[in-house]
Every structure is written in C-alpha cells, then in structure tokens.
Structure 1
Amino acid sequence: MTLTGRRTVIDLEVQRFRCRVDACSRRTFTEQIDGLTERFARRTPRLRRVFERFMQVLAGRPAARLSSYLAIPVSSNTLLRLLRRRPEQPRIRAPRVLGVDDFAIRKGHVYATILLDMETGERVDVLADRTADTLSAWLREHPGVEIVCRDRGGAYAEAVRTAAPGAVQVADRFHVWKNLCDAVDKCVVLHRACLPEPAAEGEPAQATSTAPKVAVSTTVFTEWEGVRVSKRRERHAAVHELLAKGVGICAIAEALGLDRKTVRRYAHAATPEDLAPSRGGRRGSRVDPFLPYLHERWNQGCSDAARLFEEIRERGYAGSQRTVRRHLQGVRAGGRPAPKVAKQLSVRRATHLITSHPDHLDENATLRLKQLLARCPELEGVAACVESFAKMMVDLDGHRLPDWLKQAEATGFPSLKSLVNGIRQDFDAVTAGLSTQWNSGRVEGNVNRIKRIKRDGYGRASFDLLRLQILHAD
C-alpha cells in the first residue's frame, strides 16, 4: 500500500490458533483482520480491487506503468491473473428482453457477439463468434427470453427461430432506415442526368454539343465517365460470352486478368447498367465548389496557379495548392478557354436532401429539393416513399408496412424492389421493430465501448481477457 506517495509495508501481530483434531489437515490457523487481510493473500482486498480496476480501464502494460508511478508496483502478468480470477456470477436464465449484435475482433475477418439485457443495460455474455449454432446453444442453456432485439442479419434470426421459437424478434428500425437510404442512393445514381441545376436568369445556357472538352478530373467533364462505361460494357460482353461457352469463373478471371469477385459480379449482372458504380463517377474534390471562380479568372487572363490558390483560399478553400495546380494543368493542356461550370448536385447531396426531415432543411436546401423533383418526376415517387416510411417509423405504425411495400414496389426501381423482397423475408421482425419501442440502441452503444476497450489493449488481448474486460467495464 502507499502512504503520502511512498510505498508502505504494514507489520501486523496476530494470533495463531492450533487445531487439536488429529484428522484435520490444517494444524494451525492465523487470525484474520476483517477488511485488511485474507488467507494466502499478499495484498489487501482494497488494493486488489484497485489493481482490478486499473486492469479493466487500462489493460496490462499501461496499468502496470500507472501502478509503478503510484508507488504500488505490480507486473502486467499479475494484473492479468487478477482479472482472470475475478469470480463471475453464473446466469441460469436469459433476460426477458435480449439484445444481440456482433462486433469486430479483427475487422473483416473475425467477429464476436455481445448479449445485453435491454431492460437494465447489463452485459449478459460475450460469444466467441457470430454463427447461428453458437447463439442457439446459448439460448438453449439459458431459457426464458421473450423478446430479441437484433439487426437484420440472417444468422441471429435463424438461431432465435431454432432455439427460442416463442420469442418475438424485433429488427432494429435504424438498420431498416439505413437500408432504405442505400436504396435511395442507387435510385439517384440511375437518374444522375437530372442532377445538373438549370442556369440562373441572365446566364447563357451551356451548349453541351459545342463546349470544349478538357481532360481534367472534375465532375463537370464526362468524357472519362464515357471511357469507363465503354470498358464496363466490353468486360460484361466478354464475361458473358465465355460463360455461354461453359467456361468457369476462375478460368474467365485468369483469361481476362480480373479478380474472381469482379468476374462473379459481371456474371450476376444481366446488363452493363446494373454494374454502375454507386456514386456514379469520381469522388468530389475540395476544389469543385471553386471551379466557377477559377475558370472565370482563367478566362480573364490570370494563369498563375499560386495566385489563384491564394485567391480561393481567402474565399474558404481548405485544400492544397497541388490540387489547384493539377486542375489548371489540364485546362492549360486543352489550349482553349476554360469551360463554363454548371452547378450540379452530387449524388450524396441529392440523397441527403431526399432522406432528410423537412424541418432540418434550410430554405435554400428545400428549394433545391423542389427543383430536383420537378426535373425528375421519377425521384418524386421515391421521395414520397421515404416520407411515408419516415412517418410510419416515427409514429410506430407497423401495421402500415404492407401498404408501404406496395408503394415502394410500384416505383419500379430495382433497388427498392430488392429492399421490399428483403423486408418480406423478415416481415414479422421488421413489423415488430416499427410497432414497438424496443430497438438496438443500447447494444450499439456497447459496441462503441468495445472499440475503446480494444484500442486501450492495443490488440494484445486474447478473447477470454477481452470478454472479461467487456463484462466488467463501466
């Protein structure tokens, strides 16, 4: 123990008792002081709890360094043993409302499962994987669950159906909303030709047939997109030609120099349009909002990249000078005046406008959304689906789900049809998620806490130690 920051050893005088029973294996017994000493212990109960606390919060080596600084030195191995020896209270029955979710031990490779009591927030157990067999075995050993809150993963749904058929499954409505937003994103990609905004009054309309083309990386130039589309069609035709001849996926990948996953993706696509990238082109650049000003200054005769960089930096540009110089090199190589840049919504921004609550949009965003829907009536039907689903989710009107599925299917978009098919396969759980107050919010919060525990351990904790840290964490 420590006293005023110094290591202190307490020398006690206690009584020793002798046993008079010859058959007893213990000849003598030492008197114990309540709260200060324990049999065969080298440290007080309070100091042991302090070490366990250090181990829970900091993991092995950082906890050992802190204990040395506090003049109570202990090795990291001792701290590990103390945490592993900590007794666990065996649980006979499962909680009435059980939350289930997975988390990554090694992202993309190894996953585990956390179980939570949704009524109290208590962490119940941590399973070594996320398979249906493991969760089914746990549910059989711990009966009594009535409601299971989960994501839309099929493994957990199968485990609950197998081991607890009487339990009500509740699919988290946030995950369903996320699936809807992803489907809307794909709908916007199919109509990205509607994203350019019309020219303002007094500005001449841009003639796409006579506008000069410059090979630079910006969203207003589409010639590189045409190259990608042509290449995509050629690959699609080559893959399906070899498939028609009976050639296997691996052989096609070797013949065309492609990855097997890429070949499989082309093989499963009926048309080249089904392979369109989700974002419909390159990612946006920080210089994009300043292109109208840059092109205007370029046409006025200012071709100094350093000077133009300083000018747009005063206007709020936060990128590098190299990005500006790289863009202007393409304009200079064209040998023509810089083309006029039309204002255009990105796919991400258009999706955000459609899926945002109207009260969260300012006047300018509301106007841009109305203009987008006026230019593209097909997206107006998608926006109506989003609005009705959001109202159903907020009001917990799960009984309206069948009508919404028909509404979404009537839009004709493949991504929405795919979402509808997925919801119908998990219809009861999605309906329960849209009808009850239960959700997976508490489980997701614990998953975030697990990420912090993993970072503190620097990846050195085995599963048994990580499990104990999760179960005993604050």
Structure 2
Amino acid sequence: MLVVSADVSDAVVAVRARTRSGVPAGCTGCGQLSAWCHSRYVRRLADVTLGGRPLRIELSVRRLYCENPACPKATFAEQVPGLTVRYQRRTPQLQRLVEAIGVVLAGRGGARMLRILNVTLSRCTVLAQLMRVPLPPLETPRVLGVDDFALYGDTYGTLLVDATTRLPLTLWEGRDAEQLSQWLRKHPGIEVACRDGSLTYRQGITAGAPDAVQVSDRFHLWQGLSRRVQDIASAHRGCLPAALPPTRATDPELIEETAGNTAADTRAGRHARRLFEAVHALTRTGRSHSSVARELGLDRRTVRKYARARTWQEVMRRPPRKPSTLDPYLDYLQQRWDEGQHSAKILHEELQGKGYLGHYQRVKMAVAPLRRGLPLDEPRARPPSPREAARWITTHPGRRSPHINDCLPRLLGQCPELRHTHDLVRRFAAMLDNRDATSLPRWLNDLADSGLAPLAGLAGALREDRHAVAQGITTPYNSGVNEGRITDVKLQKRLMAGRASVPLLRHRVVLIAHLRRRYADRPTLTPG
C-alpha cells in the first residue's frame, strides 16, 4: 500500500492511499490469487483518533477478475489485511474499540465515551455492534452453579455459572424447572450442581441431570436458619429488654412516677391513656383483637400492642436519646446544679472552658428536666430488635463484640426459648465448621421437637432435601460465585437504567466477564 498524501487540519486528519498494482490478491470466493485488474474504486474508512483528531482514510483499491472458472465470483474486491474488512467502514482496530466500549458501557454510556474519543456514533449503533459480537463457545462445566435474581418488578431470572472457571454461562427470564431441565439435557456431562433450597431448581436438576450430585448451598442454609431465629425473636419480643444492663438505682420509683405524671399532662399521654383503658375494658370481656379493632376503628396491630401493655406508659413513643457531645459533661452539670448554679448561660460558659464546643441551646435543654425536679436525661440503652437479637445468636462466639458478650447472656437467661434456639444454632454451626454431617439426622429431630414452629417448619424442609444439605455441609462446593455474578448482573442492569432486554443483558454479562478476564491486572515490569 502506498500513502499518496496526508492532510492535517484542526478538525480531522485525512490520509489518501492506494494499493499497489501488479500485486496478486486472494479471491474472496475461492481464495485463488489473481492480479488481473478490472477497475478501481475508493473506500472511505474511519480509524482511531490520531493526536486527538479523527482519522479518515480514503483508500483506492482494485476490483480484480477471478481466473478460476469454477468460482461463482466473476470479480472481487481486494482486502488489505489489518485495515479493511468486507462491508465495513471502520478499521478492525476502531471496530474492536467500539465493541469493547459497548460491552463495558452499553448504549448511551458507550456513545458518550466514544464522543470523548472523537468517534461519533449513536447509542443504537453501539448496541447493534455489541449484539454482533459472538458469544464465546459454551463448554459444559463439571460443576454448575444455579441461582435466581430479580429481573424487574416481581419477575425473576435464572443465572448459570461455571463454578470452576467462575464465568457466567447464560441467563434467562423465569425460574421454572422446565427451562432448567431443557438446558441440562442439551448440555450433558454436569457432575455437581450447586443451588439454594429452591424446590423448583431441585426438580429441574433432577429431571435434566439425574446423575448430578446436588449441593444445597451452605450460605442459603445459614440464611434460612437465621430467618427462623429472627421469627422466634419477634415472637418473644417481650424478652428482649432483658438484654439491657440494670439501670442506676437513683430512686427509680420516684423518677418513674414523676415522669408518668408529666407525660399524663400531655395530649399524647391523655390519648394513650384513653385507648389503653378502652382496649383493656373490651378485651377483659373475652373479645378478640379483630372485634375490638372494628369497634374502636383501630388497626388490629394497634389493639394488640395496647392489649399486651401492662401500663399505658409502655405504649408512649419515647425513643432513646442519641448520644451527644454534652454527655461527658453531664456529671459536672449535675454537680454545679446541686451547688446552686441554675443559669444555663453561666453553665455553658464554664463548659466551654473545659473544652465543650456545643451550642448554648443544648445546655439549656439539658438542664430543663432539673428545673421540673427530674434527673438529667442521660442516653438510655435501646432494647435489641429481633433482627439484632438474631444476629447476636448467629454470630460466632469468637467474633462477638464485648457489648454482645455482655448483653446476650442476660437475654438467654431470661428467655428459655431463645436459649434453646441458641444451642441448636451453635450445633449447626459446628457441623458447618467441621464439615461433618453425621449428627445432621439427630439435629433435625431436635429441631422438629423444639416446640418452636419456625424451627419445626425448617426441619421439615431440610428433611426433604437432606442429601443435598449433607453435601452442602461436607463438600467444598457452594454458590458463592453465583452471588458474586448476580451482583455484577445488577450492576449491568443499573448501567442500562433497567431498560435492557434479556438478550442484551445476557450478551453483556457473558462478554464483560470474559473481557475482564482478558484484561486482568498484571504486575507491571520495571524497565531496565
């Protein structure tokens, strides 16, 4: 190829070139070489930018006769390796750039990035070029990971991952057993299938790959047990305040009585007291919560809350005060108040001399209870929520914080049901740590005989899938790689504003995983 001219302007770099005459070229139909020229024509190609300017190539190429009488082509256009492709107005280098940006950033984002690189293409063109990229050949994996993910709204999809190479294989809309079994029949040879506790996937794998060993993922097993523990903690919500440390004995009866009288004078206190008396008056007659709710015009959960309360003060919404920068100086405020200093302004100035940087208004609000004969409003500990209590129970004892180690024994000592649940959880954790499922049948029996409905229901579900559960405990296979790939699927969905079709999403998820693998970070070699 000969370069005829090169013109550089502020807008574009234009290069004019032509192929050499007399050099034979291969026929695109049969491959036979020919130098018999029919005519010439000009091809206009776009290439990657040069010095920040778009590069345009006007290339004069020959149309040649094919001298093979058996070839269906009479003439053919010569191609320049590395520069031209049939029916393509972009060079292979620019085409690879467009495809890679489309894979990484999709339509709008890819078009914007190309515009930064002085390559003007619409989002539809970027997506079209992306969909033209062929997917890598699918090899049947030995270990398959199956999991579902939220596609949009109430619609879910299924993702298949090669657990050995950690690369996604395919995805589709829906999570029914028939689709999975059809895919497995088309790709025989799978030895191990990792899944969650879904009955649908269990049936699909059994029908499509009956010889495969099914493994129930240990993360989903632990997650299912943790949810049952939270249900038990919710059912025994009244025991959760027992986890709090004992309060300071500073005449608590007087404080409670004074605080109750103060709350009774408020509008909210009077309303709570009226509802409390009305609900208890009706429930003492033996009426159900639903009947009382219909008569009083309340929600059934509100009636249940008032019926469970022993006093009307218990239902008063008084959230624990959050810690503030004034807390380290509360003892000093109490001391100065007892000494006779009742001016909030002077107290604020004294605290500033001790390093307090807060506002005067906070000091004024802090001493306000002292003016009514009440103690300072110190930060009050909040009882753990059912979710927090479940997390305390399921956390490994060696990883518990000192706060949990202080509160959990008090909670378990107060609630026998939670103590029994804690023992069962720790036994299952020991099976997972030791990868020993020999005690699984006995543990399932104890779970069913625990007298706790959530655990009994879990025992029934695990018994039906006991072989896969045992494999999940004893084998190293799991669905962790699926969870990571599902996180990547959600990222790609958000990059496309949630409007991607399933074929486009499948294309990007598979291609971007291979692209990352190809351009993985490697250590940089220092020259010299």
SS in 1 for 2:175: coil
Matched residue, 1:132: 177
Residue of 459, 463, 470 corresponding to 1:420:
459
Whether 2:415 is the aligned partner of 1:376: answer: yes
Matched residue, 1:432: 471
Q: Deviations over 1:287-329 (max 9, x none)?
A: 3567x9799999x89999xx9xx99xx9999xxxxxx9xx99x
Matched residue, 1:81: 128
Q: Is the 8 A contact 2:156 2:174 kept in 1?
A: yes
- CA gap of 1:428–1:303, structure 2 versus 1, over 3 A, is farther
Matched residue, 2:159: 114
Q: Is the 8 A contact 1:212 1:336 kept in 2?
A: no
Q: Is the 8 A contact 1:206 1:340 kept in 2?
A: no
Q: Deviations over 1:53-80 (max 9, x none)?
A: 1111111012112112211212211111
Displacement after TM superposition at 1:204 (Å) = 4.7
Displacement after TM superposition at 1:24 (Å) = 4.7
Matched residue, 1:355: 394
Aligned residues: 424
Matched residue, 1:269: none
**Structure 2: 5+ residue runs without aligned partners?**
1-46, 265-271, 309-314, 514-528
Letter in 2 for 1:407: D
Bigger RCO (CA 8 Å, 6+ sep): 1
Letter in 1 for 2:383: L
Whether 2:200 is the aligned partner of 1:155: answer: yes
For 1:33 and 1:286, how far apart are their aligned partners in 2?
77
- CA gap of 1:21–1:240, structure 2 versus 1, over 3 A, is farther
Displacement after TM superposition at 1:26 (Å) = 2.6
TM-score for the superposition, normalised by structure 2: 0.67
Matched residue, 2:3: none
- CA gap of 1:8–1:386, structure 2 versus 1, over 3 A, is same
- CA gap of 1:138–1:15, structure 2 versus 1, over 3 A, is same
Displacement after TM superposition at 1:10 (Å) = 2.2
Q: Deviations over 1:139-169 (max 9, x none)?
A: 1222111111111122111111122222111
For 1:355 and 1:137, how far apart are their aligned partners in 2?
39
Matched residue, 2:36: none
Q: Deviations over 1:255-289 (max 9, x none)?
A: x999xxx99xx9xxxxx89xx9xxxx999967356
For 2:108 and 2:486, how far apart are their aligned partners in 1?
24
Q: Is the 8 A contact 2:107 2:123 kept in 1?
A: yes
Letter in 2 for 1:395: N
Matched residue, 2:103: 56
For 1:209 and 1:138, how far apart are their aligned partners in 2?
68
Displacement after TM superposition at 1:377 (Å) = 3.5
Displacement after TM superposition at 1:212 (Å) = 4.8
**Structure 1: 5+ residue runs without aligned partners?**
217-222, 242-251, 267-271, 318-323
Structure whose CA Rg is larger: 2
- CA gap of 1:79–1:230, structure 2 versus 1, over 3 A, is farther
Q: Is the 8 A contact 1:111 1:130 kept in 2?
A: yes
Whether 2:450 is the aligned partner of 1:406: answer: no
Q: Is the 8 A contact 1:405 1:420 kept in 2?
A: yes
Displacement after TM superposition at 1:460 (Å) = 2.7
Q: How does 1:4-43 map to 2 (within 5 A)?
A: 4-20=51-67, 24-43=71-90
Letter in 1 for 2:246: A
Matched residue, 1:45: 92
Letter in 1 for 2:90: R
- CA gap of 1:316–1:155, structure 2 versus 1, over 3 A, is farther
For 1:352 and 1:283, how far apart are their aligned partners in 2?
25
Residue of 168, 191, 195 corresponding to 2:241:
195
Matched residue, 1:245: none
Q: Deviations over 1:27-73 (max 9, x none)?
A: 22222222222111111222111111111111101211211221121
- CA gap of 1:351–1:386, structure 2 versus 1, over 3 A, is same
SS in 1 for 2:76: strand
Q: Is the 8 A contact 1:100 1:116 kept in 2?
A: yes
Matched residue, 2:209: 164
Displacement after TM superposition at 1:353 (Å) = 2.1
For 1:433 and 1:289, how far apart are their aligned partners in 2?
44
Displacement after TM superposition at 1:239 (Å) = 6.8
SS in 2 for 1:389: helix
Moved over 6 A (4+): 238-241, 281-284, 292-298, 300-304, 314-317, 338-342
Q: Deviations over 1:208-264 (max 9, x none)?
A: 995754769xxxxxx79x96x969x98x948799xxxxxxxxxx9xxx999xxx99x
Q: Is the 8 A contact 1:187 1:415 kept in 2?
A: yes
Q: Deviations over 1:99-141 (max 9, x none)?
A: 01111221x4221111111011121111221111211111122
SS in 2 for 1:434: helix
Matched residue, 1:249: none
- CA gap of 1:257–1:433, structure 2 versus 1, over 3 A, is farther
Displacement after TM superposition at 1:374 (Å) = 2.5
Matched residue, 1:444: 483
TM-score for the superposition, normalised by structure 1: 0.74
Instruction: Report the identity percentage.
Output: 33
Letter in 2 for 1:346: P
For 2:113 and 2:454, how far apart are their aligned partners in 1?
54
* Root mean square deviation, CA, Å: 4.5
Whether 2:141 is the aligned partner of 1:95: answer: yes
Whether 2:334 is the aligned partner of 1:287: answer: no
- CA gap of 1:349–1:125, structure 2 versus 1, over 3 A, is closer
Letter in 2 for 1:156: Y
Q: Is the 8 A contact 1:399 1:435 kept in 2?
A: no
- CA gap of 1:377–1:104, structure 2 versus 1, over 3 A, is closer
Q: Deviations over 1:405-459 (max 9, x none)?
A: 2333343222221221221122121111111101111010000011111111112
Single out whichever of 441-450 and 368-377 deviates more from structure 2: 368-377
Q: Is the 8 A contact 1:135 1:156 kept in 2?
A: yes
- CA gap of 1:388–1:178, structure 2 versus 1, over 3 A, is same
For 2:410 and 2:440, how far apart are their aligned partners in 1?
29
For 1:203 and 1:429, how far apart are their aligned partners in 2?
55
